[in-house]
Structure 1
Amino acid sequence: MNSFVQGFTVCGGLILAIGAQNAHVLRMGLSRQHVLPTVLICALSDALLIGLGIAGMGALLDRWPEAVRLATWAGAAFLFWYAINSLRSALAPRSMEVGLNEQAISLRRAVWLVLAFTYLNPHAYLDTVVLIGSIGAHLASDQRWIFWGGCISASVLWFSALGFGASRLTPFFSRPSSWRVLDGLIGIGMGSLAFNLIR
């Protein structure tokens, strides 16, 4: 298989799963807030972490389990906090219209949130640095960065589609009940992820 196609396929298959980071990108897209910086940070972070894995950092993480354990507990705490806030939003009797009455957040807060979803999530390191990175590291030296390019392309395409394509769901999310269902599902999902991390 062509190294570019292999990288695109491997990375695409892993990031399609709806997790904490994807749910946050979707929410930013639906509320039309800071979508470009959110998408850029996610894609650039994937590029960085996968690149580190290809360069050999995945093997280093395997030898330093304490770092993974620390990231796991920090990630679980953050996900629990976010789950509680999402469930509170789901129960709040408020009207939310996409882009109008949705609670606005500052660019600084949006950046901190996406950085937290990315770098406080141990699964991000396991998927990008250890798993994808180790696959790329085993390729011939002239093919590794072609593989990396395929991974980056998949990441950019996915996060752009998720963030900017979310606006097509505007008619559905113009109803307050739809937002409450989304908040509830995100809260339950984040709580489940956090529980699974420390189980």
Structure 2
Amino acid sequence: MEATLHGILLAFGLILPLGVQNIFIFTQGATQPNLFKALPATLTAALCDTLLILFAVFGLSVIVLQFAWLRLGLMIIGIIFLLYMGYSVWNSRPAKRESGKSLPPQKQIVFALSVSLLNPHAILDTVGVIGTSALRYAGLEQILFTATCIAVSWCWFFGLTIAGAFIKKLDGSGPILNIFNKFSAIFIWLTALLLLKSLFA
């Protein structure tokens, strides 16, 4: 029970703050014609988080992040993806059922991969917090802790997608979602600038 409650609190603590990944998943729920068409982004983000949590618990990410050149490469690629994604979100419009203006599945998957796996801060948070916390447990307790963190992640991303779709029903293709897209794009560009600044820190 302690491991399960710890996993719930820790996972929510990491995933709740506003971030590029959360904004992107919410935006897909709001801009896709229906929930089914937003699933590529949702499933990709959930699977990526599952992978990061498993790597964190088993310590594989710590080994990878020891290589400075690899971290630098991830940050550069991440900046490029964020700049392009910001441009796409800025120009996106809430899609009606008959329109084809929403992101296609391939782009959803690529963008979800980029905001999930090419964000050094997210990787460091997952490894530093979940990875070190998992060291407290062994055997069944560690399995419960890991499974709980993964379950919270999946529930959160599906919840964001549903929330985006709900907002779209209230607003249709009106001004609220268009304004949200603009603010989302600006936030994504600012995140890219912060990553760029950290390269020269």
Query: Relative to 1, partners in 2 of residues 1:69 and 1:133: Cα closer, same or farther, differing over 3 Å?
Result: same
Tell me, yes or no, if structure 1 residue 140 matches structure 2 residue 143: no
Q: 1 or 2 for the larger relative contact order (CA 8 Å, sep ≥6)?
A: 1
> In 1, distance between residues paired with 2:142 and 2:175?
47
1:158 to 156, 159, 164: 156
Query: Relative to 1, partners in 2 of residues 1:159 and 1:83: Cα closer, same or farther, differing over 3 Å?
Result: same
Answer whether contact 1:8 1:152 (CA < 8 A) is retained.
Answer: no
> In 2, distance between residues paired with 1:2 and 1:58?
25
1:192 to 190, 193, 198: 190
> In 2, distance between residues paired with 1:190 and 1:181?
14
> In 2, distance between residues paired with 1:60 and 1:154?
26
Structure 1 range deviating more: 95-104 or 144-153? 95-104
Answer whether contact 1:58 1:130 (CA < 8 A) is retained.
Answer: no
Query: Equivalent residue for 1:127?
Result: 125
Segments of 5+ residues of structure 2 without an aligned counterpart are none
Measured after TM superposition, the shift of residue 79 of structure 1 is: 0.8
Measured after TM superposition, the shift of residue 97 of structure 1 is: 5.2
Measured after TM superposition, the shift of residue 98 of structure 1 is: 4.5
The size of the alignment, in residue pairs, is 194
Segments of 5+ residues of structure 1 without an aligned counterpart are none
Query: Equivalent residue for 2:25?
Result: 25
SS in 2 for 1:34: helix
Structure 1 range deviating more: 74-83 or 30-39? 30-39
AA of the residue aligned to 1:196: L
Deviations 1:42-76 (A, max 9, x none): 22211111111111124314522322222112111
Query: Equivalent residue for 1:59?
Result: 62
2:39 to 15, 31, 36: 36
Q: Which runs of 4+ in 1 moved over 4 A?
A: 95-98
Answer whether contact 1:55 1:137 (CA < 8 A) is retained.
Answer: no
Structure 1 range deviating more: 159-168 or 123-132? 123-132
SS in 2 for 1:162: helix
SS in 1 for 2:18: coil
**RMSD, matched Cα:** 2.3
> In 2, distance between residues paired with 1:155 and 1:131?
15
